């Protein structure tokens, strides 16, 4: 007569713990991946919001749109405070850009850049917000504005017309 087993062996317990551990590691990996994706989406949302903010600022001072045009290497600075004192349109544009560039660093990673370009001969403009997202292998094409420039960075490109 065969004896009936009443419990589990040590090998069965170890296999069950191993399977459970692999499952927990898989869930932890998915959680980490989800958090990284969420952070990238949040940065893209903030960059889009900052680009839209600059577009609306330019539209409010559209008579001086040429004063807003710059490249990502020329970050304007100003000593004018156009909120506390009266400024002309060009000074307002410089103040707007200086405060906008300053706010980019407050909202996005500290190495965030911005640019405003005009399409030649038209009233079409492009605002770029560019930041380094080392986990992301996409390129930011701005070649139509600066020949042979392809940046391995993340960017938001917003086109608008006046």
Q: 25-83 pLDDT, tens per residue? A: 999 999 999 998 898 888 889 889 999 999 999 999 888 888 888 765 667 777 778 88
pLDDT band (50, 70, 90) for residue 147:
very low
DSSP assignment of 14-47 equals HHHHHHHHHHHHHHHHHHHHHHHHHHHHHHHHHH
Strand partners, 141: 150
End-to-end CA distance of the chain: 94
CB 92 within 8 A of CB 129: no
Question: Which carries the bigger pLDDT value, residue 27 or residue 159?
Answer: 27
Strands (E), 21-153: 113-118, 124-131, 140-141, 150-151
- Token pair of 158, please? 């917003």
Residue 149 has pLDDT above 70, yes or no: no
């Amino acid at each position: 007569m065969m004896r009936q087993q009443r419990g589990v062996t040590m090998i069965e317990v170890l296999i069950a713990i191993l399977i459970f551990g692999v499952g927990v590691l898989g869930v932890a990996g998915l959680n980490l991946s989800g958090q990284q994706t969420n952070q990238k989406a949040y940065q893209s949302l903030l960059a889009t919001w900052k680009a839209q903010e600059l577009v609306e600022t330019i539209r409010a001072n559209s008579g001086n749109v040429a004063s807003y045009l710059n490249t990502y290497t020329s970050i304007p600075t100003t000593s004018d405070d156009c909120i506390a004192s009266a400024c002309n349109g060009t000074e307002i544009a410089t103040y707007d850009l200086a405060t906008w560039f300053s706010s980019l660093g407050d909202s996005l990673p500290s190495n965030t850049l911005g640019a405003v370009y005009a399409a030649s001969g038209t009233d079409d403009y492009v605002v770029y917000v560019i930041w380094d997202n080392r986990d992301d292998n996409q390129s930011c094409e701005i070649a139509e504005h600066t020949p042979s420039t392809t940046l391995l960075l993340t960017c938001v490109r917003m086109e608008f017309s006046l």
